Structure 1
Amino acid sequence: MLYFVGAGLISGAVVHHPLDPARYTKIAIIGVLVFLAATVVNEFLLAADRPAPPRAILVIAASLLLSFGIGMLSGGLQHFEDFPDRGAMLVPLGITVSFIAFVLKDAESSWRRIFGPLGLAVLLTAAVSFFGLRAVAEGMTEPSGESGHSHGGGTEEETTEHDTKEDPPAPASESPAPESSVTTDAESDHEEDGHGH
């Protein structure tokens, strides 16, 4: 659970960072601490064989890198429609970073695996996703990049209401007739018809 909570906080912070850098930097730091806590619990407290100090440092560093890779991937996918240009960069970068971090974190895997056939396949996947998402981002009808997200800017209804409020008042000569005169005319008509109430 700590793994998923930490990755979720990081993914939200990575995507929304341009909207409020100070706020989302704090959220990213909290997400990193949660993810690292999950790593410590899983790799050191619950593990049957605790790694040596050099290996422990590598596991912690790789876990930190993995948290950002997963955050970039999941955040870029979730908010691609809100931030198409940013999402087109985050998704392939998240794929690459997550793969590298996962290889380094696995004790039974060698770092040379990054440059093997599997690493080449991941690199090609990241390249295809980058160019594909860039094409989709450029073809989207709304050019509103990062401003299209619900965290900033007014809605169309608010804009219309604002424009309506700025319209000048109607001239005094066009004001409707007093209500009392209309009521008097209506009452007189009823009396002439013999239907007075």
Structure 2
Amino acid sequence: MPQPPPGGGRAAARRGRGRRRARKPVPLAGRYIGYVLYFVGAGLISGAVVHHPLDPARYTKIAIIGVLVFMVATLVNEFLLAAERPGLPRAVLVIVASLLLSFGIGMLSGGLQHFEDFPARGAALVPVGITVSFIAFVLKDAESSWRRLFSPLGLAVLLTASVSFFGLRTIADGLGEASGESGHSHGTGMEEEPDEHGAEKESPASAPESTAPETAPATGAESGHSDDGHSH
């Protein structure tokens, strides 16, 4: 007698085909929203990381909002739209790695975008952003192992971060010297301006002297009265 095929035979095969047909592709709108949230969150974080010294309270709020947006994007892309949802340990790792990834991307993009505005800060943010984003991506990627951090690729990323730090630091020092020279020239201009204003202010200060002739007619008037008194 012919043996039935393992796994339930044709009925199991039909059920398997039915499950494959039931898995629908992710709609375009869902994929679009997920990626937009990724980039919006990273953009908010990048702006907050770079501009934080200007207004700590304001940019701390912006950073928190960016983190929340990025986390929502992670939930949408990694859990709601994913073909296979990860278990609890993997889900926690993905959330933590996504949080690190958001800050790494924010440091990298913000440091590059505003390097001329904050050269010293940008020179530090860019290499840190490269390193943090790579570590976070390896931990988040389901097809990678944490051992890839110590692979030749990880060494290349570390070397790139080191070169970028020393290179950007040198450029930042040059920009600092250039701004220092312009600051001195601007300072001399500011010192000359008070002298000019002071000279202009001295001319109105002579206004009380112009009141002296006004007292003269008064004295003349008084002498006129005295003359009149004598005439009378």
TM-score by shorter chain over 0.5: yes
Q: 2:203 aligns with which of 153, 170, 176?
A: 170
Compared CA separation, residues 28 and 164, structure 1 to 2 (3 A) = farther
The answer to whether 1:8 aligns with 2:40 is no
The answer for the alignment partner of 1:142 in structure 2 is: 179
The 3-state SS of whatever aligns with 1:131 is helix
| Equivalent position to 1:74, from 94, 103, 109 | 109
CA–CA distance in structure 1, aligned partners of residues 80 and 131 of structure 2: 29
1:37 paired with 2:72, answer: yes
Q: Distance in 1 between matches of 2:96 and 2:202?
A: 65
Q: Deviations over 1:4-54 (max 9, x none)?
A: 000000000000011111111110000000000000000000011000000
Change (3 A) 1:143 1:34: farther
CA pair 23-73 structure 1, distance change in 2 beyond 3 A: same
Consecutive unaligned residues in structure 1, runs of 5 or more: 149-154, 176-197
Q: Which residue does 1:26 correspond to in 2?
A: 61
Distance 2:125 2:56 in 1: 17
How far did 1:61 drift?
0.4
Structure number with the bigger relative contact order (C-alpha 8 A, sep ≥ 6) is 1
CA distance in structure 1 between the aligned counterparts of 2:196 and 2:79, rounded to whole angstroms? 63
Aligned residues: 163
Q: Please give the TM-score of this superposition, normalised by the length of structure 2.
A: 0.65
List aligned pairs for 1:44-63, cutoff 5 A: 44-63=79-98
- Aligned with 1:25: secondary structure? helix
Cα distance change, pair 142–40 in 1 and its aligned pair in 2 (3 A): same
What's the secondary structure of 2:130's corresponding residue? helix
1:142 offset after TM fit, Å?
1.0
The structure with the largest alpha-carbon Rg is: 2
| Counterparts of 1:165 and 1:17, CA distance in 2 | 39
Deviation at 1:134, TM superposition (A): 0.4
Report the alpha carbon displacement of residue 165 of structure 1 after superposing the two structures with TM: 9.9
**Could you tell me which residue of structure 1 aligns to residue 17 of structure 2?**
none
Render the CA deviation track for 1:42-98: whole Å, top value 9, x for unaligned: 000001100000000000000000000000000000000000000000000000000
Q: Could you say which residue in structure 1 is the equivalent of 2:221?
A: none
Task: Say which structure is richer in helix.
Answer: 2
CA distance, structure 2, for counterparts of residue 45 and residue 163 of structure 1: 66
Distance in 1 separating the partners of 2:106 and 2:196: 43
Q: Which residue of 1 aligns with 2:134?
A: 99
Letter in 1 for 2:144: S
Q: Which runs of 5+ in 2 are unaligned?
A: 1-35, 211-232
Residues 132-165 of structure 1: per-residue CA shift (max 9 Å, x gap): 0000001111149xxx9xxxxxx99xx79x9599
User: What is the match of residue 115 of structure 1?
Assistant: 150
Change (3 A) 1:106 1:142: same
When residues 76 and 143 of structure 1 are mapped into structure 2, their CA distance, relative to the original with a 3 A threshold, is farther
